[in-house]
Structure 1
């Protein structure tokens, strides 16, 4: 999914919706320039900005990044190679590009077929979900399988180590950062699905 063309996808959906860049920007509460830059792949929007834009288009992040391949009826096992990569470099802003390259999010299950989002998250040293904390409807929880993670929820920051878990109201602004020198792996769940 690293070659996913965010700009082209957004432009196609916007045009299918019959909206100009200016109309979409105005309705979403973002600048026309931002929509233009995203569509030309000249900038990566913050997750908050992308959600605002997609909300106007009647679409979730999961639907936006979904490959569209139909799920097999009755399928309940998803092999590693079948997981959908959600390219964080295209949806998060961070202190630098290296922080985004160090983050991998893999989703299993299909959007619209489950009320639960499951992610296999890999944070290499320096990985960060962005300087801007984000929030969304629902609850979020997970287990640290390997390494350490600095988690900020609201005004509180905690260091989690392998074996630790978290669970919080995801309407609170939150941010994940790997400030250690080793990789961190987390298995997480959120409901309702936000990606």
Structure 2
């Protein structure tokens, strides 16, 4: 499989992505008639931190975005795009959204169309050398699977660490605490699939 090479995350493009993400989160919050305090209580984050994210003044980690998405009752993919087209079948490469997490040196691109209630989301995740989700492991509903298409992936699930290389695949329930990173010296790219839990 041929995967495009990506430039390292620069401050200008990351700042633009932060601002776009912040506007989307604010839109979703207001559409649900939720205050910053409501989202803070639901997510366990501070009001000031959420406000900074909405204004594009702070870059959120994957873990933080999962908590915000849960608080807003949307899939993580719902933070990427404003499209709500149930009929969309194709996501063109040139129009897919990318979120760069500067603090973790990870970027995520949603490569499937954004639907209001998708059964699964497929991402192209790029991790710079030494990049990782960092901190404590996180968990959420659903299931995950993927394949490493470039580089080396270190995946830790419930305290057990697995080192995967190009062509290696994985799957696990998302409610098992997990984290991942790139222990190598080159870029790592992973096709990563998130599916929703039954009944959601």
Q: TM-score, normalised by structure 2?
A: 0.74
Unaligned runs of 5+ in 2: 1-12
In 1: Cα distance, 2:104 partner to 2:36 partner: 30
Q: What is the RMSD computed on CA atoms of the aligned residues?
A: 2.8
Cα distance in 2 for partners of 1:16, 1:115 equals 22
Is the 8 Å Cα contact of residues 107 and 119 (structure 1) preserved in structure 2?
A: yes
Q: Deviations over 1:161-185 (max 9, x none)?
A: 1121111111111112111112222
Partner of 2:27: 12
TM-score by length of 1: 0.76
Deviation at 1:141, TM superposition (A): 1.2
Contact kept, 8 Å, 1:128 with 1:178, in 2: the verdict is yes
| Structure 1 partner of 2:133 | 129
Does the 8 A contact of 2:84 with 2:114 survive in 1? no
- For 1:152-163, list aligned pairs within 5 A: 152-163=156-167
| Residue equivalent to 2:154 | 150
| Number of residue pairs the alignment of both structures matches | 182
Matches within 5 A, 1:105-124: 105-112=109-116, 114-124=118-128
**Runs of 4+ off more than 6 Å:** none
User: Contact 1:124–1:178 (CA<8 Å) still a contact in 2?
Assistant: yes
- The answer for the alignment partner of 2:97 in structure 1 is 84
Separation of aligned partners in 2, 1:113 and 1:12: 17
Q: 1:119 to 1:104 in 2, by over 3 A?
A: closer
Q: CA deviation at 1:117?
A: 1.5
Q: CA deviation at 1:78?
A: 4.0
Quick one: distance in 1 between partners of 2:114 and 2:152?
A: 29
Structure 1 residue runs of 5 or longer lacking an equivalent are: 90-96
Distance 1:13 1:185, change over 3 A: closer
2:29 corresponds to 1:33? no
Conserved in 2, the CA contact under 8 Å of 1:98 and 1:126? no
